[in-house]
Amino acid sequence: MRQFRFPIILTVAALAVTACVPITPMPGQAPTGPVATTPTAPTVLDAASRAVARTAINAEMAKRLPGANTAPYTDCVVNNATTAELIDIAQMTNAGVSGAADSVAAIVSRPGTTQCIAGAAASARSTT
């Protein structure tokens, strides 16, 4: 009976150990299963693009709300835009190409942005 248990125990131990070892694909073979990714930190380019986009968005908001403090509304637009949209706005602004107004309008039309702007407007009215 003892001789019979030993191979079973070795087999179970071998399976347990191999379950812990990550399986890596052969060179040239695509990985199977989920691939862990780490989030990337914003780069300097992202920060510069955000700053340029923020300036362009603030200018667009000022055109639509002359005389108003547009900073809170600009924050709403920036916070509800994707990084790609902010980069696009920055690139259009740097290139002198029109279209930033359309991009800003598209972001403003989103429910989250609209709610944020309404909240900022209500806050501005209560402080005056």
**Whole-number pLDDT of residue 28:** 66
Q: Which pLDDT score, from 0 to 100, does residue 44 have?
A: 61
Q: What is the pLDDT along the chain (128 residues), one digit of tens a residue?
A: 445 454 555 454 444 444 444 555 566 666 565 555 555 555 665 778 888 899 999 999 999 889 989 999 999 999 999 989 998 998 888 777 777 889 999 999 999 999 999 999 888 887 76
Nearest to 125 by CA among 75, 72, 77, 64: 72
The reported pLDDT for the residue numbered 42 is: 55
Inside any domain, residue 36: no
**Residue 5 placed within a domain:** no
As a whole number of angstroms, the distance between CA 53 and CA 100 comes to 9
Residue 111 counted as domain residue: yes
Decide if 116 is inside a domain.
yes
Say how far apart CA 35 and CA 23 lie, in whole Å: 12
Structural domain that includes position 117: 44-127
Residue 83 forms part of a structural domain: yes
Task: Provide the domain count of the chain.
Answer: 1
**Is 16 domain-assigned?**
no
* 115 domain residue, yes or no: yes
Residue 41 has a pLDDT of: 53
